């Protein structure tokens, strides 16, 4: 009875992960299409305003069904896009670059993570051990990607904005500390798990 219950729990978790995996892909694809449509929308559909610490933006894209529209919104910190006169800013380019770097790239990382977790639950449903080196290596690679994005994402965003949005060049080193912490924890977990698998293999060999 207990094994059947555990199997059901894993099966439910697997179905939930698959749902979120495909839903995230759908959201990311919709966001990508929306992003490349931004340069073609009228200026009246774009809001780009200077706040106290950031530039806030929003875009309403009509989807051709009555008055329905698809909206996106976000912000660009002051240390990445300085408070220069708005006439010196290529607003559509700023929104496209900021949305791609700050929203779609994290979605891609989430998709990769969900795919790895789905693979793990698939092995569990096939009555294979989840403690395999292939899963450990997957977690480690994902940790590297999270660390890379958390340390260099905002710097790359600043460089792209300097090249395509404004007439001046600046580089800002701004780390996402929460992402760095998640990446470090993922790496530590993969390292501990790999060592546990090694010890288990050594124990099985000596029997």
**Kind and range of the H or E run holding 158:** helix 133-164
Confidence of residue 86 (pLDDT cuts 50, 70, 90): confident
CA 12 to chain centre: 24
In 3-state terms, the chain is what percent helix, strand and coil (to 5)?
70, 10, 20
Give one DSSP letter per residue of 172-207, joined into a string: -----HHHHHHHHHHHHHHHHHHHHHHHHHHHHHH-
**Could you tell me if 120 and 27 are in contact, meaning their C-beta atoms sit under 8 angstroms apart?**
no
pTM for the whole structure: 0.82
pLDDT at 18: 93
Confidence of residue 6 (pLDDT cuts 50, 70, 90): low
Three-state DSSP state, 18: helix
User: To the nearest whole percent, how much of the chain has pLDDT over 90?
Assistant: 29
pLDDT higher than threshold 90 for residue 22: yes
Choose the weakest-confidence range: 1-5, 31-35, 114-118, 186-190: 1-5
pLDDT at 68: 62
Burial of residue 183, with CB atoms counted within 10 A of its CB: 0-12 exposed, 13-18 middle, 19 or more buried: buried
Confidence of residue 5 (pLDDT cuts 50, 70, 90): low
Burial of residue 199, with CB atoms counted within 10 A of its CB: 0-12 exposed, 13-18 middle, 19 or more buried: exposed
Confidence of residue 127 (pLDDT cuts 50, 70, 90): confident
Burial of residue 169, with CB atoms counted within 10 A of its CB: 0-12 exposed, 13-18 middle, 19 or more buried: exposed
Q: What is the DSSP letter of 53?
A: S
Kindly report the average pLDDT of the chain as a whole number.
Answer: 85
**Could you tell me if 119 and 132 are in contact, meaning their C-beta atoms sit under 8 angstroms apart?**
no
pLDDT higher than threshold 90 for residue 110: yes
Mean pLDDT of 101-119: 91
């Amino acid at each position: 009875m207990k094994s059947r219950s555990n199997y059901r729990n894993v099966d439910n978790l697997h179905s939930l992960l698959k749902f979120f995996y495909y839903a995230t892909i759908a959201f990311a694809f919709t966001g990508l299409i929306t992003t490349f449509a931004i340069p073609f929308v009228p200026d009246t559909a774009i809001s780009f305003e200077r706040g106290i610490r950031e530039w806030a933006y929003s875009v309403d894209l009509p989807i051709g069904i009555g008055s329905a529209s698809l909206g996106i919104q976000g912000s660009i910190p002051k240390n990445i896009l300085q408070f220069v006169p708005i006439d010196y800013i290529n607003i559509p380019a700023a929104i496209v670059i900021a949305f791609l770097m700050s929203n779609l790239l994290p979605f891609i990382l989430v998709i990769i993570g969900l795919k790895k977790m789905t693979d793990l639950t698939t092995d569990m449903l096939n009555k294979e051990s989840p403690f395999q080196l292939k899963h450990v290596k997957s977690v480690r690679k994902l940790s590297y990607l999270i660390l890379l994005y958390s340390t260099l994402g905002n710097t790359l965003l600043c460089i792209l904005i300097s090249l395509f949005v404004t007439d001046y060049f600046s580089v800002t080193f701004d780390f996402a500390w929460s992402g760095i912490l998640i990446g470090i924890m993922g790496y530590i977990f993969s390292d501990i798990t790999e060592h546990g698998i090694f010890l288990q293999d050594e124990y099985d060999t000596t029997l």
